[in-house]
Amino acid sequence: MCGIAGYSLSSESPVERTLAAQALLAGIAERGADAVGYAACGPEGAIDVTKLRGGASALLDEIEMSPTTSQALIHVRDYTKGHPEIEANNHPIRHGAVVGVHNGVVLNDDELLARYGIERFEANMTVDSEAIFALMEIRRHDPRALSELHGAMAAAWLDERDPATLFLARGLRRPLWIGCTRADLFFASTRRALAIVEAALHVRLEVREVREGRLVHVVDGQVVRERRFRPDRSYREEDALPPVRAPHEAVSCLERLAVIASTGAA
């Protein structure tokens, strides 16, 4: 069980970019403590990635977003495949021009990579999530490719070839929520994380859960396209994982976020 979050903001958005990322990270902190990371897309389309071992509290104060940052991805990891001691296995994951985050498990990742003749982006990578972003790179975000995945999935990614678009996808058995203002869109693994964003940024969000089998395209904080795909429903999860994996991280990050937000307001 991992946690994913992020945003797509309009160029005129008054949202303080760093505080928004910190609020989202605090909101998903409880979902894993093996690794943490974030990616940011700048005005020229280049995607910068920062990640490290440990829980969200190790990164909360280190996040720094440019005032012009348009899009961000955030992840906390409770790993299943791909040991976190290997940095390339931790999220956000890059495969070519695509950088993404994933909550879930892909059981046929090696099979898919072999079928398409795809080599691991880094030689020592073993993480299953790479298959999602490798397919999105070579299939140009064709939702039919997501139907080839066997497992559970909620994912988000950016593509340096299409820097204006944030992609969100929900397959089976993993939550994905979005919250919108008139100008901006935030997403997270839980509705509670979006409530934390509302409190920290003093905004009101229109919140909804993304339905299973949906690929959502977001540009400048607006959903511009929503496409369907058929998840492989033969997947069965024998042991459901609890959503709270690191309660101590949640407590630590929320306490620190309260200080950060109050200082900023002052």
Mean pLDDT (the chain) is 96
pLDDT digits (tens, 9 = 90+) for 215-238: 999 999 999 999 999 999 999 988
* % of the chain beyond a pLDDT of 70: 99
- This prediction has a pTM of 0.97
User: Which of 207-211's residues contact partners 24+ apart within 8 Å by CB, and which partners?
Assistant: 207/177, 207/178, 207/179, 207/180, 208/177, 208/178, 209/175, 209/176, 209/177, 210/154, 210/168, 210/170, 210/176, 210/177, 210/178, 211/170
Q: In order of start, what are the domains of the chain with their CATH numbers?
A: 3-265 (3.60.20.10)
The reported pLDDT for the residue numbered 73 is 98
pLDDT digits (tens, 9 = 90+) for 122-139: 999 999 999 999 999 999
